[in-house]
Amino acid sequence: MNIGDLKNRITIQGRDSAGLWTDYVKVWAAIYPLSAKEPFDRGDVQQNATHRVVIRRRKDVKSTMRLLFAGRIYDIQSILPHYRDRDRQEMICEELHEMYDTVSVIRSESKVGAYNVVTSVPLPPREISCCIVDVQHNHNQAGTDPVTWQTKIQIDCYLGEDVIQGDTIRLSDLGDFFVTEARPAKHFLTVTATQAKRGAE
């Protein structure tokens, strides 16, 4: 491999003391898409790997890190010696989904008014970038009761976004959803929210 093959400038990120992704180092790399017919028979490499990334050998780069290139995020699944060049190493990566969607987050705060009456006051909506991963529609009916319709969504947003259980997520085409869970994962904050309706859909 010639030095000219390393023509893509990538950013390697690691987690800081707060668990957030921060830039660790920028290096030159060669990036090769993997075809569906190119599986890796290794226990530490998942079969949804999408790219092979070659860089100069670095002992400080770990498989717990990730790559950024051209606005895309790549999860490092495994780091291997280069098959031919000892001063190179290969990183088998999976390209993660992008944040193409925008939703509004609405949070309410409690205020004590006259006669110590506590009311819930919504704060101004905040827009965040996210990826709507899943939308599920379900319904059920008990006896002669009206049909209950429930829609559940799962979205992934960047770690560090301020979304908590009890918030409301507003989708422009589906309405408001109540956040039941906001769970930090390796790369994203995974949010689950539900919307329930009674009667005819």
Q: What is the pLDDT of residue 19?
A: 76
Inter-residue long-range contacts of 131-138, CB under 8 Å, 24+ positions, other chains counted:
131/97, 131/98, 131/99, 131/100, 131/101, 131/155, 131/156, 131/157, 131/188, 132/101, 132/103, 132/171, 133/97, 133/190, 135/174
For the stretch 26-64, pLDDT in tens is: 999 999 998 654 544 444 444 467 899 999 999 999 999
Q: What is the pLDDT of residue 200?
A: 54
Q: What is the pLDDT of residue 96?
A: 86
Q: What is the pLDDT of residue 92?
A: 92
Nearest-CA neighbor of 159 among 132, 136, 191? 191
Q: What is the pLDDT of residue 45?
A: 43
Q: What is the pLDDT of residue 183?
A: 94
Whether residue 82 contacts residue 53, with contact meaning beta carbons closer than 8 Å, is answered with no
pLDDT along the chain (201 residues), means of 10: 79 87 94 68 54 92 92 89 82 87 93 84 92 88 78 91 95 93 89 82 51
